[in-house]
Amino acid sequence: MSPTDPTHAAQETPYLKIPHTEPGIHSAIIHRLLLHFTKLSSRQDIVIVCIGTDRSTGDCLGPLVGTALSKLQSGSYHLYGTLEEPVHAMNLQDTLLHIQQVHENPFVIGIDACLGQSSSVGCIQVVQGPLRPGAGVNKELPPVGDIHLTGIVNVGGFMEYFVLQNTRLSLVMRLSDIIATSLFAAIKEWNRSFKPLARRDEWRPFPQEIMNKANLH
């Protein structure tokens, strides 16, 4: 469970916060992710770390996203955190150590649930920089991700554990579906259209070329 407000100063790519009911939400998230992917080298592994537990309705967003992505069986990313094998407070440090040992200079995408203001419940955020899992419930855990996506599942600020246990599963399922499908589509588009350009340029695609090709604004 992560805090809601991005605290990363001087972000190169402004963070996106969008209600899950917004028309065109998938396109908005995909386009923002592609902007972040312009920082990728063609040689970097994409590693997705979905944080949370299936023992709490509000905190199962990450494992739900991971399970959905695992069913797509794509070789375009490496995945950690599903309902069967969750990544949570007890094994997060070991998981991050394993990622460092197995993947050389990976591009890590963190996924987590968070609590926020009542007006923000149901929003999805795409943010440059690492998320801080556990901060929303006063736990100190290592930061995760070059970028991260969070879904605001309920209201924070009071009795967080109780709030998480009494979060509507229907909302968490909807948020997890949007995140999983948008992230999969963005990675697929990156590999299909943009990764060859990154190889040609040896480090990253030309930003303007990427923006024109993806029709980003």
Could you read off the pLDDT of 154-199 as tens digits, one per residue? 998 777 888 888 899 999 999 999 999 999 999 999 988 877 766 6
The number of residues in the chain equals: 217
Helix 61-72, helix 169-189: angle, nearest 10: 40
In the block, tokens 């899992």 appear at 133
In the block, tokens 């499908």 appear at 181
Q: How far is CA 162 from the centre of its chain?
A: 24
Average pLDDT of span 144-157? 94
Helices (H), 73-168: 92-102, 160-165
Are the CB atoms for 34 and 214 separated by under 8 Å?
yes
Give the lowest-confidence range in 73-77, 139-143, 190-194, 197-201. Answer: 197-201
CA angle centred on 150, ends 111 and 162, rounded to 5°: 100
Are the CB atoms for 129 and 147 separated by under 8 Å?
yes
Could you read off the pLDDT of 14-50 as tens digits, one per residue? 899 999 999 999 999 999 999 999 888 878 999 999 9
Give the lowest-confidence range in 13-27, 128-142, 201-215. Answer: 201-215
CB atoms within 10 A of CB 46: 22
pLDDT at res. 217? 41
Are the CB atoms for 146 and 109 separated by under 8 Å?
yes
Sign, Cα dihedral of 102, 180, 93, 169: negative
Task: Report d(CA 200, CA 173) in Å as an integer.
Answer: 40
